[in-house]
Amino acid sequence: MMIAVPALLALLAVVALNYLWRRHADDGVLPPSPASLPVIGHLHLLRRPVHRTFHELAGKLGPLMHIRLGSTHCVVASTAAVASELIRSHEAAISERPQTAVARQFAYGSAGFAFAPYNAHWRFMKRLCVSELLGPRTVEQLRPVRRAGTVSLLRELLVFLANSNKQQQPVDLTRELIRLSNTSIIRMVASTVPGSVTDEAQELVKEVAELVGAFNVAEYIPVCRDWDMQGLGKRAADVHRRFDVLLEDLIRHKEEAAAAAILDDDVCNKKKDARQDLLDILLEKAQDETAEVKLTRDNIKAFVIDVVTAGSDTSAAMVEWMLAELLNHPESMRKVQEEIDAVVGHDRIVSEADLPRLPYLQAVYKETLRLHPAAPIAHRQSTEEIRTVHGGGYTVPPQTAVFINVWAIGRDPAFWEDPEAFRPERFMPGGAAEGLEPRGQHFQFMPFGSGRRGCPGMGLALQSVPATLAALVQCFRWEKPADKMMIDMEESDGLVCMRKNPLLLRPITRLDPFPPVI
């Protein structure tokens, strides 16, 4: 009998929540919903990856549907028309993001940016991101940091090939790309980080990404709220403690260097002209007494965690998806390599500065973003009641999670001819998608989201990802394992949509002689 009491209480809680939730919308019509079960709602219908499950359900229920995940009510938008209406007409009502207990832990409560409530602090940080932290000037200034990472990877591949015992072995390119993106973003945050700190930070970033993206039963089933059934709370507390120690060390190092520079006018003047990393900018803003919002130490640490976790796996995943698609489509690979050869030649390695003159490479990147957006679902939360038009005239009550299925929208046959096919030519002059940019203005193509909560690191991704891919295919041919006719395109589940299986390839030097790696 004692065992049944918690389940009964949970059932009663869910029934009460359902009743209250439906009362919010009794003057309107709720979006259609599949049959649900007591307590768990529609959790039993979800299969990994979740964006595909939502896509399949939308095919039966329509472009806007209601899903109950335990006690959490959600609506899922699956077409550009519904997404456009929600963002353009109801942006103010969906400017919040759902925040889990694990996310709050790494955000130092409400001190972070990615999951922060829409308030004065968030607006200040967004402006700071767009204008300085991740703005064009800073992205350009930190280009040498990213270049150094790419050069390091190319060197490692050459050393690998020089080892006669390894020449017939494949390289785990998934691991190498994650290491490259992690190292680059960490050094953009703090350019003077010692190698040992970079290694530790990489491990912590991996753990944070896993924890934030993990499915936590306690978030959805009321009776489980106070239980750490999966051990996620304990793990998150440990990783947060370790990350906090590392961040404090980085900040103290910066503060000590700044204090020493003040004592040396010459050094101080040189510092003003030196390239600033993101931590330099944040600490400088924290000391600005005239700033609209005073940044605290927790604000700085939370923002650094946001940047390194959001900007590492996502970049690696996109390079990997691009390379996998090119290997499965040899004609597109040939066009990319011929374009790079014509523009760059064989005497130097392609760089970010070459990207404006590589339109086919850019088209390959856009087509990859359409098919494999790094964040396949955009998460919002309603703060007031919404009445839709394009979604079928439905009502979305307050405190409802709003999921925009970016992955499904990128494959909508209403906008995309042969939507499952990899066709970069559609983005070239004369193609049906000519002129479409992934910056959030075109709702049928918004891999970085749109509106206030659009990805602030979009400009950085549009530079770093295609440049890394270009260097890999300019310098090497990539052979698939002998037993693989095609690279598998199975997806993993989580906040970042990565390939499920490691990309194991054998590199073969393409350029002879190989240009200087500097």
CA angle 413, 93, 401 (to 5 degrees): 65
Residue 91 is encoded by which pair of tokens? 């942006």
Q: How many CB atoms lie within 10 A of CB 363?
A: 24
Maximal CA-CA distance, the chain = 78
What is the distance between the alpha carbons of residues 58 and 46, in angstroms, rounded to a whole number? Answer: 13
Residue 289 is encoded by which pair of tokens? 């007494």
Given 3-state DSSP classes, what are the helix, strand and coil percentages for the chain, each rounded to the nearest 5? 55, 10, 40
Cα 43 to Cα 101, 225, 227, 233, 237, distances in angstroms: 19, 16, 19, 21, 27
Q: In terms of Cα–Cα distance, which of 87, 304, 316, 306 is closest to 179? A: 316
Asked whether the beta carbons of 160 and 171 are under 8 A apart, the reply is: yes
Cα 312 to Cα 36, 45, 203, 291, 374, distances in angstroms: 37, 31, 12, 30, 11
Asked whether the beta carbons of 366 and 438 are under 8 A apart, the reply is: yes
Residue 467, H or E segment: helix 458-475
224 a known binding residue?
no
Contacts of 50 (CB under 8 A, 6+ apart): 377, 493
What is the distance between the alpha carbons of residues 112 and 301, in angstroms, rounded to a whole number? Answer: 8
Tell me the β-bridge partners of 222: none
Q: Which residues are annotated as a binding site for heme?
A: 455
Q: Which residues are annotated as a binding site?
A: 455
